[in-house]
Amino acid sequence: MALIVQKYGGSSVANIGRLQRVAQRVAHTYDAGNSVVVVLSAMAGVTDKIIKMAYEAVDQPQRSELDVLLSTGEQTTVALLSMILEAMGYAARSFLGHQVQVLTDSDFGNARIIEVEHEALCKQIDKKGIAVVAGFQGCDINGNITTLGRGGSDTTAVALAAALDADMCEIYTDVEGIYTADPRVCDRAHKIDQISYDEMLNMASLGAKVLQIRSVGFAKRYNVPVHVRSSFNDKEGTMVVPENAGMESLVVSAVTHDKNQARITLKKVPDQPGVAAKIFSPLAESGIVVDMIIQNTRPDGQTDLTFTVPEGDYETSLKVAKKIAKKIGADSVYGDDDIAKVSVIGVGMKNNTGVAATMFSTLAAENINIILISTSEIRISCVIDEKYTELAVRVLHSAFGLDEMQS
Amino acid sequence: MALIVQKYGGSSVANIGRLQRVAQRVAHTYDAGNSVVVVLSAMAGVTDKIIKMAYEAVDQPQRSELDVLLSTGEQTTVALLSMILEAMGYAARSFLGHQVQVLTDSDFGNARIIEVEHEALCKQIDKKGIAVVAGFQGCDINGNITTLGRGGSDTTAVALAAALDADMCEIYTDVEGIYTADPRVCDRAHKIDQISYDEMLNMASLGAKVLQIRSVGFAKRYNVPVHVRSSFNDKEGTMVVPENAGMESLVVSAVTHDKNQARITLKKVPDQPGVAAKIFSPLAESGIVVDMIIQNTRPDGQTDLTFTVPEGDYETSLKVAKKIAKKIGADSVYGDDDIAKVSVIGVGMKNNTGVAATMFSTLAAENINIILISTSEIRISCVIDEKYTELAVRVLHSAFGLDEMQS
């Protein structure tokens, strides 16, 4: 007799046949005596098709109207699933973002949830009905339709689970859970049974393909247990849960990599107070998120300053950096996008020394040069030459004892 | 400095290119100093595609969810047109049915407008913005999405024009206006410059392809001048307006035909009080709209009863009629769907006798047998053999002097 929120992604609702299978699974959960709230994405590919159509109409679609357009994707799937459930004899009803309602700010295309009204959903649950909610969408205080950004349906599901105090938020996707490394890179990678919110938050590059990172922050804040699992079989997936004692016996839980990185170096920057602000403020104003920064003092009293940005922002960043260099009197600017970031993540790190040393020596043993290093409480990341990415992931996966766990 | 409501149908917004042309026309009207409220249909074919998808999912789609699905069609076009207008430098905003809001009853799929809130639209107009409203859709008192039935965007446009006290409601379509007869049947048919609401209401078969009949009732009630015109050129179309003196100089304004008819005859019905109710109540309960009824007294004191129904309801009607016949002791039931209804319409009839006589003698001169007759104040309709339809339309068109007016 639990309240379960189930979210199905685009590939799980890609066509009528798959929607019918989703209906079976929802019905199965309901028949077991649970209350079920379903959250759906748009059919796989539909969002891209809509965006393409908008760009066919105009060069730069107005974001508020793009959201009106985009929200039709989930509107379609929730209406269809409700029909199918009704035809199967279940009392189902669709709820759009503004009907729930999912109140957001007005940052169209990337809106953040302010509040989830749960009155309408509770009514539906109370009368033993199944609520089928359009993910990814909400409305602002003026009644404008908003969307939550790529993967936003995950956040809708977790936010609903939090608002309804659900017992479980199940995220159905096309993979079986979260892995110790990308299985395409490391054939010894295996599914993780349990992972903490913080580890998940640190696994952006590995996990974001499975679960929108923003939804994990939500889950952590409201203590929502999340179960990431496949919609194509009944296997248990990965539980994303609060940190617990069992987790700490493992020093490292996963090895991630991200090739979507570029670095930019400003040579011979005059070493004077306020120079960092002069460099990074214009980048921030251009909407560029700088990831890692390193500053080397030169014998001549000047410094070299290197930072990394997402590969997609590389060209823009280079332009901005060149303007800045001129202004502050730096000698030259150069950059490249043939780098990658490899990270080891684990809540066990907190109580274990020597993780960094093991990581550096493991890479050194393979003659992999470390360009930049950054650390957090439960993560160590190294920027390396992109060509060594796969090798680095494999040797780190072995070095931290993740291979042995394979069943 | 007028307030103009412009409605564009499915063929006028069938693709991005056509939407861009619609934007040009809207901009042109706005630039001339007018306030413009635009009402759009879904792209041609989209509504049918959505219905097909729903029937692929289930045998009998739930009507409320079908409305959720259908409303995505207009949602798409209004967002796209708003984007295009914005990109052209105009302050445009889309409004969905629930945002306007267009309050309807809860008869999903065929909802009737109860009230149009105009506050949001007035705000948009007051700040010199263009409002782009999704036609065909509204919401009921519980916030459920509703749709107004085929051609419902016309009714949306007229209802908005009434609520906003607009100076003109322009209905843009793929024909140039209302014709004296179907040009495919009668090559001497020509466009009518002005037609009264009542004539238009009587022209269901001819006019409904151009203008949803329900919208004409709305226009009449609120005295909204409607201009039916082509979106593909700048020619004046047909003005649908209150009756005026000029109109009465013409006895007949148009000849219409409708092949979508079937008749059913109950033979030897016992002639006793209440028998008509026993026949027509079950038909009404089955949702069948009976059009014409004729009762012939037989020498044996019994009667034969003939009535017509839309061709689509023929099979169902026949089944119901057979059940009734058994119950009331009628002798037999037979029917056929090879009939057609030909009508002459004109407000001038009110002051002119002899229209019926001219109609009957014109048909008789061609040896066309009249099966059933019905009349209203401004219309005479005859049911004839379907095969004579085109001939009947042409000879009546000539007989009532409509040929001569051709330019």
- Over the stretch B289-299, which tens digit does the pLDDT of each residue have? 888 888 877 77
> What is the average per-residue pLDDT within B140-147?
96
If you ran DSSP here, which 8-state letter would residue A267 be given?
A: E
Percent of chain B with pLDDT over 90: 71
Reported as a pLDDT band with limits 50, 70 and 90, residue B248 is low
With beta carbons less than 8 A apart as the criterion, state whether B262 and B309 touch: yes
**How far, in Å, CA of A260 to CA of A314, rounded?**
10
List of chain B residues whose C-beta atoms are within 8 Å of the C-beta of residue A79: 54, 65-66, 68-69
User: Tokens for A71?
Assistant: 């929200």
Tell me what pLDDT residue A151 has. 84
- B137-139: strand order across its sheet: B113-116, B102-104, B137-139, B145-147
CB A306 within 8 A of CB A263: yes
Q: Is the pLDDT of residue B301 over 80?
A: no
H or E segment to which residue B296 belongs: strand B293-297
For position B104, what pLDDT does the model report? 97
Pairing between β-strand A332-345 and β-strand A293-297 as defined by DSSP bridges: unpaired
- Give the integer Cα–Cα distance in Å for B164 and A259: 57
All residues at 6 or more sequence positions from B167 whose CB lies less than 8 Å from its CB, including other chains: B2, B3, B4, B225
pLDDT confidence of residue B302: 84
Closest CA to B271 of B344, B329, B337: B329
CA B397 – CA B345 distance, rounded (Å): 11
Residues of A in contact with B100 (CB under 8 A): none
* Residue B387, CA distances (Å) to B309, B338, B340, B358, B390 in order: 18, 8, 8, 21, 8
| Alpha carbon distance, N-terminus to C-terminus of chain A | 33
Cβ-nearest to A76 among B72, B78, B145: B72
Q: Which of B52, B53, B69, B121 to mutate to test the interface with A (most CBs of A within 10 A)?
A: B69
Angle at B308 between CA B307 and CA B313, to 5 degrees: 120
The C-alpha atoms of residue B217 and residue B158 are separated, in whole angstroms, by 10
Cβ atoms of A253 and A179 closer than 8 Å? no
Q: Do B72 and A69 touch (CB under 8 A)?
A: no
For residue B407, pLDDT over 70 is answered with no
Question: What does the alpha-carbon distance between residue A186 and residue A195 come to, in Å, rounded to a whole number?
Answer: 19
The closest of B35, B3, B18 to B172, measured between CA atoms, is: B18
Q: Mean pLDDT throughout B167-190?
A: 92
Give pLDDT, residue B207. 60
Confirm if A41 and A74 have CB atoms less than 8 A apart: yes
Low pLDDT (below 50) residues in chain A: 406-407
Amino acid at position B239, single letter: M
How many angstroms away from the CA of A121 is the closest CA of chain B?
A: 13
| A370-376/A379-385 β-pairing | antiparallel
Quick one: pLDDT band at residue B206, thresholds 50, 70, 90? low
CA B198 from centre of chain: 13
- Asked if the bond preceding B101 is cis, omega within 30° of 0, the reply is yes
Contacts of B82 in chain A (CB under 8 A): 62, 65, 68
Whether residues A86 and B19 touch (CB distance < 8 A) is answered with no
- CA dist B225 and B194 (Å) reads 11
Nearest Cα residue to B206 out of B149, B255, B262: B255
Mutation target vs A (from B80, B85, B145; most A CBs, 10 A cutoff): B80
Distance (Å, whole) CA A141 – CA B2: 32
* Distance from C-alpha of A201 to C-alpha of A116, rounded to nearest angstrom: 23
Say how far apart CA B376 and CA A278 lie, in whole Å: 84
Report chain A residues whose CB lies below 8 A from the CB of B46: none
Q: Are the Cβ atoms of A60 and B84 closer than 8 angstroms?
A: no
Taking an 8 Å cut-off on Cβ atoms, the answer to whether A83 and B53 are in contact is no
B354-405 pLDDT, tens digit per residue, is 898 999 999 999 999 998 888 888 899 999 999 999 999 999 999 999 996 5
Nearest to A146 by CA among A109, A196, A199, A197: A109
Give me the helices (H) in B16-150, please: 16-31, 46-57, 63-87, 97-100, 119-126
DSSP secondary structure string, A347-387?
Answer: GGGGG-S-HHHHHHHHHHHTTPPEEEEEEETTEEEEEEEGG
Distance from C-alpha of A72 to C-alpha of A15, rounded to nearest angstrom: 15
Report all structural domains of chain B as residue ranges with CATH numbers, in order of start.
Answer: 3-174 (3.40.1160.10), 255-405 (3.30.2130.10)
Q: Please report residues of B whose CB lies closer than 8 A to that of A65.
A: 79-80, 82-83, 86, 93-94
In whole angstroms, what is the distance from residue A36 CA to residue B84 CA?
41
Give yes or no for a contact between B175 and B130, defined as CB atoms under 8 angstroms apart.
Answer: no
Average pLDDT value over all residues in chain B: 92
A16 lies within 8 A of chain B by CB: yes
pLDDT at residue A248, rounded to an integer: 66
Q: Virtual CA dihedral for A320, A322, A324, A328, nearest 10 degrees?
A: 170
Question: What does the pLDDT read at residue A294?
Answer: 83
| A132 touches B at CB < 8 Å | no
Nearest partner of B316 among B337, B298, B293, judged by Cα: B337
